[in-house]
Amino acid sequence: MDYKGRYRIFNTDRINTYPISDRDNKTKLSDIINSDRVDSLSAGVCEDVAESIGIVAEAVVAARKEKKPVVLFTGAHLVKNGLSGLLADLVRRGVFTLVAGNGATSVHDFELALIGATSEYVPQALEKGQFGMAYEFCYQNIALDLGNKYKLGYGESLGKMICDEFFRNEVLTIAGSTDTPEKFTHPQVSVLATCYEKDIPFTVHAGIGTDVIDQHVSFNGQAKGGCSGRDFLIYTEEICKFTDGGVVLNIGSAVTGPEVFLKAASMAGNIGKVPDRIITADFDIRHHKPDDMTDESSRFYYFRDQKSIVSRVPQAYNGKGYYIEGNQKQTFPLLYKRIIEGLKT
């Protein structure tokens, strides 16, 4: 990136990369939970949590049968935990009208689509100076460069790279390497690819310096910001459809998902598209103490997901918020099963 200010900046030309095929990964294709495996899983959640999941699943199914919006925002761990196969299946079934995530979510999804593995061993890589230094991350940066040139969104650009051969070849030509993968071998487990194929927006809400793609010489902050900025407006347009109800799910995003939703809801209300009678649910592993939400001396006051998703936003819009406490490896498959059961009735 060009810089003409008064300070010294890091020269990314000095960065050394390596082929992603040389990297060890914690999550393999065999770890991905799909619809065939979900029935064999033990729910492992308490009765109260299971009841809340059932209520939320009923609300999701009812909303879609009534053609009302259902939005899901997920942190990166849903993909790292092998649950992207279930999410992709729900997208194929038309359960969600928009899926959103942070930059890390898109990185892990990209890796799974490309090589069928993700989640490098960070401590091992850090001590070698190799964390996040796989060469193939330039694919994402180049896709965002092109996406920004064509005025596309972030998730749209990455989904197009996976699914559109012409666009992908344009990316690979610029990448100019013959020693790296030239096709995405496992698009079936990619939520980015599934959303692109089903014409469902996957919006990526990214920061700068927060993702491994930012470490590379190919990184262009203008492209990343431009594409993510368009995604925020795509997301906000979807929130404008909640004037007659709908469901918002937040899966393991402690800050970004709640804050994006809060700002988008405010923008929708500002133009007269005030959300009404919305159902919200926050899935996380931390304990929830709603009585402490207004106490600034309590740590629970600062849990943005619980405060915004479960309490503040639904209360402002005549809605109802639910907190689903538990390991998402248990709670999300149970949600999936309950939604599938509801779709069959």
DSSP 265-284: HHHHHHTT----SEEEEEEE
Distance, CA of 96 to CA of 345 (rounded, Å): 18
Cα distance between residue 198 and residue 89, in whole Å: 11
Mean pLDDT over the full length of the chain: 92
Q: Write down the pLDDT at residue 45.
A: 85
Largest pairwise CA distance in the chain:
65
Q: Which of 29-33, 45-49, 240-244 has the highest mean pLDDT?
A: 240-244
**pLDDT tens digits for range 66-121:** 999 999 999 999 999 999 999 999 999 999 999 999 999 999 999 999 999 999 98
User: What span, in angstroms and rounded, lies between the C-alpha atoms of 106 and 143?
Assistant: 12
* Segment 305-322, tens digit of pLDDT: 888 898 888 889 999 999
The full set of domains in the chain, from first to last, is 16-28+45-344 (3.40.50.10690)
Per DSSP, 185 falls in state S
